Every structure is written in structure tokens, then in C-alpha cells.
Chain A
Amino acid sequence: MTAVIETRNLSKWYGNVLGLSDVSLQVEPGITGLLGPNGAGKSTFLKLITGQIKPSIGKVFIKGQRVRNNYSLFSKIGFCPEQDSFYEEITGWEFLTNLLKLYHYSPSEIKTRAEQALSIVELLKDKDRLIRAYSRGMRQRLKFAQAIAHTPEIFILDEPLNGLDPLGKRKIIRLIKDYKGEGKTIIVSSHILPEIEAMTKNIILIHQGKIFAKGDIHYIRDLIETHPHMILIKCTNPRLLASKFIHEDYVVNVNFGATADSLLVETKNRDKFFSLLPSLLIENNIEVEEITSPDDNLQAVFDYLVGK
């Protein structure tokens, strides 16, 4: 797949404050999660790829073209920023239609697009209320509406679920997945890792202005050698089970749970462990209630790569 967004040696400083340092990557169609601690460089990165600021070093390409000041490209990008700043004295409808005018659509097309976008985010019945009267969730949905109204190919969404209730979040996640199905490219930046996980397995982790990880969460987890994989097994007679594999050298650590029915195994080689497990269970007549991997998720990846 050809890259939709590509950066080469991208760097940005604000005076001597570091924004981003030497970032070269490619983003393919589909959903990519963008995460990182505060001050890591995420917003700088997003501003650079949407062409809002100029890189200090390096280049950004979208679909092979340079981004900076490339107005024809902008109509292909939908950006939903994190900040909340609207003109309070106009209605939601006026806001959206005025923005759509900037894309040179005909008046009838503007009307259709605005109606469609507002109905997707369920703001159609409130379109004639002043923005000042909107609740937080409604403002967020309006922001989202303006990002999708011009049917872009590329969506850059910064904390799109902020302020929405669980049902609203679900709707937006479904919508984003629909866009993925249509072949669009979406970058979602969020601090709430479970929400990113609900959308995609493909992430970019930024920290200290650099890319600390890129790719599938589980592959990344595999690459982190300093932290052996954790496997939680709930079963009858955990100690008996432990005694059977304790001499295997790829089992690094075994912890018994507070209740007498679970154990936590740390291993460097999951293949060998899981290949051995069924036979141990059957031979020793141990019944299993649950097998899970507590640290095979995004929070663990984040902690291991970034955490203190």
C-alpha cells in the first residue's frame, strides 16, 4: 500500500523548545492511533501534517504532494482539533454553512452537506440554536461535523471523543470504522488508551519529540524484551500447575494471586509456554476458568516504553 501521508526527517523547534525531532514515517490508509504523554509533540506533529505550521527541517507529503500552503490538498483533509473555540454568537447551522462556503460548493450543495453532517452527529434538531447554548457534548459533535462535512479523504482527529457520553462515543467509533471500510485514512489522537484500542491496532507513540513505537500493538509488545509477557491463569490448583513448568527456563517469574485460584506467569517465550500448557492441564486434571494476558495491551506498551 502506498503511503498516504509521509514525513521525511521532520523536525520543529519553537525557539529552543523542542516540538518534534527527526520524524520519518509513512501513514497508510486505515485508522492509526496517535498517543503520547503531554508535551510529547503530538499537536506539533498534527499541525505539521495539516500544513498549519512550517517545519524547521524536513518535509511533509500527502499523496505525494508537499503540504505546506497547498490549498488544493486542504479540501481533502478534515481536521477536528482538540481546543474548543467557536464564535458563540452564531448558530450551529451558520457555523457549518459558512465553513462549507470556503470550499466553493454551490448553495444547494452546502445545504445538503450541512444537513447530512449534522444528522450524522445528531445535531440536526439543534442547528438553529446559538453555539453559546450548546452543551459540551454538542460542541464536540459540531466540531466533528465540520471535519466531515466536506467528505475528506483524510481525517485528523484530536481527542474526538472528549465530552461525549458512552453512546455518543460508540457512534463516533462506528463512524470512524465505516470510514476505514471506505478506504479513507484516519489519524486519531487520544489520551484514553482503551478508546484507541477500540478503534485500531495500529499506533504511533510519540515521546520527547521522537517516535518511540509505530505499528501493531501486539507486535510492538513482542519487541519489548525488557518486560517478559505476563499470563494470568485462573484454575483449580494453580500451585500444582506451577510446579510442572517451573523448571522450564523460559518461565521467568511466577506469582500466586491473593485468592487461591490464580497464578501470574512471566515468560520470555510464549510459543513454548502455550505449546506446553494444554498437555499440563490435561495430564494433571486441572480445570481452567480463564487465561488472559494482562499486559498485552496499549496501556502496558505505553508504560513500558514511556513510563518511569
Chain B
Amino acid sequence: MSIELKNIHFSYGKVKALEGIDLSLSEGAVGLLGPNGAGKSTLLRILLGFLSPDRGEGRVLGYDIKQEQSFIRRYVGYMPEDDCLIPGMDAVSFTSYFGELSGMPRQEAMKRAHEVLFYVGLGESRYRLLETYSAGMKQRLKLAQAIVHDPKLLFLDEPTSNLDPQGRKEILELIEDITSKRDIQVLISSHILPDIESTCSYVVILNKGRLAAQGKISELKEITYRLYEIKVKGEEERFLEKLKRMGCKVDETEDKLIKVYMPSHQDLMEIFRVALEEKIQIRHFVKSQTSLEDLFAKTVGVD
């Protein structure tokens, strides 16, 4: 278990930020979601060892979150949301500098900094001054300094904000590669749900200081068996009529998406048989699931 929290409470003065948080996470990518003000930053601060919880206890990477905070910070990589750099440095010096501050010997930090900069795609520009870097490059630099000391736990705070579509794609690919080996715990906090969906298998949703939901995305998203979303091309009137006559409930939504509910006595492939008869092309055929967005809205309790 990389992260174990039991009954964590925290208040800023009178304002309750976290109440009764129990969390248990092991390797893989976890998405941390929640409306603004839900307590995400407070939770991250406690996990990073900056704040001691008022009540409750926990361990991060095996270290106690109250007593062994500096150990936690040694083995954790943090990629902040805001751009950060040190003027006058180039990428190699910057990355190895923070590697040293994590506890790497100087030569090792330098060696690893080069490797990591190539990995994130800044290999060619690693000797340039940081002030000349574009937004996408700064983002990758932040990722580089977060992984230079080979952390066991990685926090990424809004890793894809302020990037153009290309940059977003590249950062997401890097994140997927890092999580693919499943030996680093990655915690991603983001408001961009499609990104969470493509990189994380597990999700933690906070709301008003409490845990609103926690679990594998695939399990939380209710798959409604027998409800399918299809898109077709061709003369659909008769096709849909036939389906209805078979006992299916048919519903056409905006964007030409058709929802078909198959009664249990019907074989699924009947849809294709009917399509064959009516010379209909079925171009999209997916089991209906709640989207992450709907899941979020449902758990956070708003419409």
C-alpha cells in the first residue's frame, strides 16, 4: 500500500477542510477529483507532509505522516500546477539541482537529469536557458524535476493545463508510459475529466471535505447491461421499427445517437440480423455506461 489514511480530519481554524477521510491506494494511476474547495489541496498537503492532521493517522510509502514527513518528501515527486523556474539556469542544471536537494549525490543527479530530460522530450533543448522555454516545455520541465530522483509516489497537479492540443497529447502519453510499469504510484489532480479517464484506472472523488466516491473507474461507472448506444447509416425508420417490434426500447437522442434496450430474451446479434435485412450500416456499437462526468455529478450530489 503506498498510501494509507485512516479517519483524517483537518480544519483551518473553524473551517473544516477534511472530515473522516479513509484512503487506501496501491500502485497505478489514481485520479483525484472534486469541486473547487472540496479539500483536494488540503489532502495533498497532508499527503506531502506539510500539514499534520488534527485527528487520524496514516502512512505514505510506509512513513508516518505526522512523524516522518521529511522522509515522505524525499521519495515523493511533485509537479506543481503553476509554472516555476529559476532564472539564469538551463534545464540540466535546474533538474539536477532539485535532484540534489532530494538527496541525490551531485554526479548522479547530473547523470539522471540528462536521462530524464531526454525522456520527457527536452533532450535537444536541455542546455537552453529556461526563460526561453515555451509553455509546453515548461510543463515537461516540471515533470522532469518531479521524476529525476525516481520517486515512488508522484503527484501531478493539473498536468495538462495551459497546453495546446499537441502538448496535452504528449504529456498524457508520458504519464501513460510512467504508469504503465505499475511500480510507481501516480496521483493526478485535474479538472479535465477526459484526461483522468485516459490515464487513470482508479479515482477518488472528494466533496465538501468528505470522500464522495472511491474505486476503479470501470466499477464505478455503472454499465447498464442490455442498453446499447448505436449509430447507423442508412434508412433507419424500418430498422428501428423492426427493433421495436422485437420488444426493444428505442430512443433517439441528439447527435443521431440511438439508445437500444435489449430485453433479456433477445440475442444481441439480432440487431445485426435486422441491420443486414434493412441494409443498414452499424457504425458505432457500445454498451452504455455512465460517463465520468455524469458519475462526478451524481456523486457530488448536484443535478
Contact = CB atoms under 8 A, between A and B. Distances in A.
Interface of A: 35-38, 135-137, 162-170, 191-195, 201, 270-271, 274-275, 277-279, 281-282, 287-293, 299, 302-303, 306-307
B136 interface: yes
B300 interface: yes
Given A194-B192, A270-B281, A271-B281, 17 more contacts: A135-B36, A162-B161, A164-B191, A165-B35, A166-B33, A166-B293, A192-B160, A192-B165, A192-B194, A194-B194, A274-B282, A278-B273, A282-B272, A287-B269, A290-B286, A299-B165, A306-B165
A96 to B, nearest CB: 21
Interface residues of B, number: 44
Given A165-B34, A282-B272, A287-B268, A307 B284 contact: no
B19 to A, nearest CB: 19
B164 A37 contact: yes
B279 interface: yes
Given A191-B163, A278-B282, A38 B269 contact: no
Contact of A282 (B33, B276, B280, B296): B276
B273 A277 contact: no
Contacts of B269: 281-282, 287-288
A216 to B, nearest CB: 12
A167 B302 contact: yes
B257 interface: no
Given A165-B35, A165-B191, A166-B293, A191 B134 contact: no
A35 B255 CA distance: 21
A162 B166 CA distance: 17
Contact of A274 (B33, B194, B233): B233
Nearest to A231: B283
A290 B169 contact: no
A193 B165 contact: yes
B36 A137 contact: yes
Contacts of B275: 278
